[in-house]
Amino acid sequence: MGSKARDSRQAILDRLRSREVTPVELPAIFGDDSISQVAIGFDDPPTQFAGTVEAVGGLCLQVGSMQEALNKLEQDEVYRDAARRCSLVGDEIPGNVNLQEIEDPHELSSLDFLIARAEFGVAENGAMWITDRDIRHRASLFITQHLALVVSRQSIISNMHQAYERIGQPETPFGVFIAGPSKTADIEQSLVLGAHGCRTLTVFLVDEPA
């Protein structure tokens, strides 16, 4: 950038900073109504959540235990063929890649399958909230070819208003909502899966305490 352009930019910024803007009080989003009266709600959030996950391209399997989740995985050809698997859900589902032993996230470029836990799910859009509380390399969530997320059935809530209330002030430096596999499309309406993230997303809705 030349000096003339820098001077022009600085002049614009200085003029903007010199303007005094009168603060305006934010409007009440719901007026006198509570969120529960206005926001969308479901009689059976877990069932709605499972349907929404499928609608956005994921696969939702309702299981009674982690052993049942492992049994489902072992029936999956993609999981069986995965050479590099990383499990962040404990010994109940084993893996052969240990994130704690990896210094450079670039070493995860050939990661085939990642299994992690989500803190809760949202029925209205199928999104799941994940933090890096127990994930050394957050890149693993996006660089893996296939992603499986475990979420408690009891943790499913109806809408994003409840989600942000639950998150409150984040306690971890990183958190993200993930809903479905990575999808992108161009003007020819050609849908591509996995361009910016996982190619497939499997959700295990486990019947366990949230």
pLDDT band (50, 70, 90) for residue 71: very high
In this prediction, residue 189 carries a pLDDT of 76
Per-residue pLDDT of 108-151, as tens digits, reads 999 999 999 999 999 999 999 999 988 999 999 999 999 999 99
In this prediction, residue 79 carries a pLDDT of 95
In this prediction, residue 177 carries a pLDDT of 96
CB 89 within 8 A of CB 99: no
Q: What is the mean pLDDT of residues 51-70?
A: 94
| Burial per residue of 45-83, b for 16 or more beta-carbon CB atoms within 10 angstroms, e otherwise | bbbbbbebbeeebbbbbebeebeebbebbeebeebeebe
In this prediction, residue 185 carries a pLDDT of 78
Largest pairwise CA distance in the chain: 67
In this prediction, residue 36 carries a pLDDT of 63
**Whole-number Å distance between alpha carbons of 66 and 194:** 26
**Whole-number Å distance between alpha carbons of 195 and 174:** 22
What is the set of domains in the chain, with CATH numbers?
42-206 (3.40.50.10420)
Tell me the two tokens of residue 208: 């366990």
- What is residue 102's DSSP assignment? -
pLDDT band (50, 70, 90) for residue 182: confident
Per-residue pLDDT of 12-31, as tens digits, reads 999 988 988 888 887 776 66
Question: What does the mean pLDDT of the chain come to?
Answer: 90
Query: How far is residue 136 CA from its own chain's centroid?
Result: 16
